[in-house]
Structure 1
Amino acid sequence: MTTSAARTSLRHVLTAPHVTPLLAGTLTGRLPTAMAPIALLLAVRAGGGGIALGGALAALYALACAIAQPLLGRLVDRTRLGPVAAIAGSVAFATFTALAMIDVAADPITSATLAVLAGASTPPLESGLRALWPRLVTGPAELRIAYTLDSTSQELVFLAGPLVATALSQLISPAAALWACGVLGVLGTVAVATRAPASWEPPSRRAVHWSGPLRSPGLRLLLAAMLCLGVSLGAFNVLALALADLTASSWLTGLLPAALSVGSLIGGIAYARIPWPVPLARQLLYATAGYAVCFAPLALVTAPSLALVFSFCPGLYLAPLLTVTFIVCDRLAPAGTATEAAAWLIAVIGLGQALGSALAGHLADHGTTAVAAVPVLAAALATALLLTRGDLIAPANLTVEKTA
């Protein structure tokens, strides 16, 4: 595809009915997932609590979100996105409002209960939109661009979310940041739930096996590889902190993840403009291998300037990797399970991030090389899984457009 054709397809995707409002609403509604962990940490600190309590509340929120998303995704596949998102968003708003009204540090049991409820009631906007893409755009090229827009814009969520939470905490209070999580979640949910596609009937309501999309061997392999990807991303944040401490450059803590995100934005834009001329299964393998290879030098780097460069490089493959992953996920999902399959994918990446953060944190006392080994080896393992059992994700229908 030429650059001109790619630009035309991008314009067609953005101007297609419902696409821009749904994308904007989904991004707004997803901001709380990036804001809440920071807001909880800052609320605990403001109340005189310790980092351990703040970290535990943030972990409970993320874990509850990861566990609940596949269940909410299954509900969407059985009903419609709009009602499920509206109910979940209302519960999340009430829960964040309650968190903003209590002393989080003084009442850890209540705070933990509310954090779990807030995470579990996260509206399934991300998985819902990704399941809708094949019905919102036409043709493989526009579908690839739509998924690329989705994956690339995710970086904006994780760049803006912590900044908004921190700014509100410093300018007003951590309680204001928690309340804003509820408000933004409701605004995004309303923007999505009131659009016509949120009321569309699922394309298939046939009887589905109790295991849902997990009965697909190819999807199970994809989930295992993306769990490793999540581990690498979670450990990378700890590596950024470890390198900042080692070099006495506190700015590295935020700048290294930002460099990864900027690389992902650029990589996503490039992938949208210039498609890779190989089947999807090969694209997935190449993107995962490129990500792993670019991560490897971080195990040996300590100079801040080099750390920035080698944090930027893996990002170039991250957005293409996520884009192809969600396209393959949709192709592998059995009929009637598309939303749940996307939710499982989101969940395992989130669980991997939690595992990576915990493992890298445990190794922090052994130096930056030990910490860096976690994301490097996790990325390598993801590549190895796809390389050794790639036949499971390369059926013939992965090279053609999937029918509804």
Structure 2
Amino acid sequence: MLGSPHVARLLGGTLTGRLPNGMAPVAIVLWTLATGGSIALGGLLSALYGLASGLSQPIKGRLMDRYGQRAVHLPTALLHSGLFLALPVAGPHGGPAFATTIVAAAGLTTPPLEAGLRALWPSVLPSPRLQHAALALDTGTQGLLYVVGPLLATALATAHSPAVALAVTAAVGLVGTIVVATALPSRRWRPAPASPGDGQARRLASPQLVALFGSLTGVGFAIGALNVWAIVMAETHRMEMLSGLLPAAFSTGSFVGGLIYGRRTWPTSATRRLLVSSAAFLTGWLLLLVLPGPNTATAAVVLPGAFLTVVVACAYQTTDTLTPAGRTSEAYAWLILSIGTGQAVGTALAGRLAHHDLASAALPAAGAAFALTILILARPGRAAVERGRHRRPRGARRRRA
């Protein structure tokens, strides 16, 4: 799969371009503290960046479906990087309000690389088996961004300054986006036109898609609660490294799970795999209810991490099946927003329950149980009809999905 034309460039460019998602929140907090601001203000600015980035995803996805990827990726990347470069220069002179405006604008202009890459796979890899492998590897590597990104931002801020960390964040994001946007598949990509008799062409919010996205908020909730639980574990056992080690073990499990899942094709439908993997995702979190020690906890979070990749990959496949032609990028953006919204809620609620050990450990399982319950009740893929979703590059032969 990696030896196929354009694949390594698109995957590497997307991962590079999305590295600021892991770097920016840490760099923003460190810059705020370095300029005399409080940690509360830094946390607020960091949360605002993530919220603005998530909420703007569907709009940018819709624009990609209408005007193509290059027309969206390049302008947003230039604005996004320019705002990060402007923050350490103009931020201190305008006070908290001006810094808040810059950070919010930077979040709003985050390039929609993740949704764009998922929309490209069918045109880059005509073989369903290779598409399956690409989606699994793509999904499995996303979690590593949130391991490498914070470490890189912290190292740059410590060795040089938070301003340097922000500058590198801007440069990395811009370079990665340019690599993707100038690739031939991205330049040529256009969504498939709606079929003449497709009455659902203008309707994205079908009951099945709403149920699917609703279930994914539970998946995001579990991830957000994990991050806070890791801090609770670090304080309880007086081991600061646990706050980073537990999320890193979870992300490593996701990466390994993606490699295993993508190495073979599966006879069952994506919807069936989504249900089974969601049940396994829940089972993994139940191990935390016994309040394990540091070593056991580190090993335990690998299991739900491994099934996270399968859940998300199958959710993308189900979304593609349920989405009207010409709306795939927007649908993928809503999927990303659903997970991000759940993650924010899980983080907020876990923070309020941080002093209750059992409740804090139970929250990831609660989010996973919510996701599985909705999937069982709604079965979002049972009424789906497979259809081609993407326009192939010029000269390429269309294939049925």
Q: For 2:348, give the aligned amino acid.
A: A
Report the aligned-residue RMSD.
Answer: 2.2
1:105, distance to aligned residue in structure 2 (A):
10
Q: Which residue of 1 aligns with 2:334?
A: 344
Match runs of 1:133-148 below 5 Å: 133-148=121-136
CA deviations over 1:216-257 (Å, ceiling 9, x no partner): 222111110111111110110000000110111111100000
Contact 1:43 1:105 in 2 (8 A): no
Shift of 1:399: 11
Residues 245-256 of structure 1: matches in 2 within 5 Å?
A: 245-256=235-246
Instruction: Return the alpha-carbon distance in structure 2 between the equivalents of residues 318 and 250 of structure 1.
Output: 25
Query: Which letter does structure 2 place at the counterpart of 1:243?
Result: M
Partners of 1:44 and 1:105 within 8 A in 2: no
Match of 2:358 in 1: 369
1:151 and 2:136 matched: no
* Identity level (%): 40
Give the C-alpha shift of residue 210 in structure 1: 11
CA, structure 1 residues 188+209, in 2 after alignment: closer, same or farther (shift >3 Å)? farther
Q: 2:188 corresponds to which residue?
A: 200
Whole-angstrom distance in 2 between the partners of 1:212 and 1:314: 36
* CA shift for structure 1 position 140: 2.1
Q: For 1:347-358, what aligned pairs fall within 5 Å after superposition?
A: 347-358=337-348
| 3-state SS of paired residue (2:291) | coil
Superposition deviation, residue 376 in structure 1: 1.1
When residues 84 and 215 of structure 1 are mapped into structure 2, their CA distance, relative to the original with a 3 A threshold, is same
Cα 1:68–1:101 change in 2 (3 A) is: same
- What's the counterpart of residue 374 of structure 2? 385
Contact 1:223 1:344 in 2 (8 A): yes
8 Å Cα contact 2:22-2:146 kept in structure 1: yes
In 2: Cα distance, 1:210 partner to 1:357 partner: 36
Which residue does 2:392 correspond to in 1? none
CA distance in 2, matches of 1:380, 1:190: 40
- Partners in 1 of 2:266 and 2:250 — Cα distance? 22
Aligned runs of 1:263-342 on 2, under 5 Å? 263-342=253-332
Q: Secondary structure at the match of 1:26?
A: helix
The aligned amino acid for 2:176 is G
Against the structure 1 CA distance between its residues 163 and 210, is the aligned structure 2 distance closer, same or farther, given a 3 Å change threshold?
A: farther
Whether the 8 Å CA contact 2:200–2:324 is kept in 1: the answer is no
Shift of the alpha carbon at 1:278? Answer: 1.6
Distance 1:43 1:90, change over 3 A: same
Equivalent residues of 2:388, 2:400 under 8 A apart: no
**Counterpart selection for 1:24 from 12, 18, 37:** 12
How far apart, in 2, do the equivalents of 1:277 and 1:399 lie? 19
* Offset from partner CA, 1:314-361 (integer Å, 9 cap, x none): 112111111111111112111100001111111111111111111100
- Does the CA-based 8 Å contact 2:191-2:327 persist in structure 1? no
Higher helix share: 1
1:61 to 44, 49, 56: 49
- State the partner residue of 1:218: 208
Contact persistence 2:23–2:153 (CA under 8 A): yes
Select the residue among 175, 183, 197 that pairs with 2:171: 183
Q: What is the distance in 2 between the residues matched to 1:52 and 1:213?
A: 41
Contact 1:216 / 1:334 at 8 angstroms: preserved in 2?
Answer: no
> Which residue in the other structure is 1:101 paired with?
89
**Residues 87-111 of structure 1, C-alpha deviation per residue, up to 9 Å, x if partnerless?**
0001001100111324559821111
Post-superposition offset of 1:209: 9.5
Deviation at 1:313, TM superposition (A): 1.4
Shift of 1:215: 2.1
- TM-score normalised to structure 2 length: 0.92
Q: Which residue of 1 aligns with 2:393?
A: none
Q: Which runs of 5+ in 2 are unaligned?
A: 390-398
CA distance in 2, matches of 1:399, 1:273: 25
Please list the CA deviations of residues 139-167 of structure 1 after superposition, one character each: whole Å capped at 9, or x if unmatched.
32111111001101212212211111111
Q: Distance in 2 between matches of 1:211 and 1:167?
A: 48
| Residues 314, 90 of structure 1: alpha-carbon distance in 2 compared, 3 angstrom cutoff | same
Partner of residue 8, structure 1 = none
Residue type of the partner of 2:285? F
Check 1:274–1:210 CA distance in 2 against 1; reply closer, same or farther (3 A cut).
Answer: closer
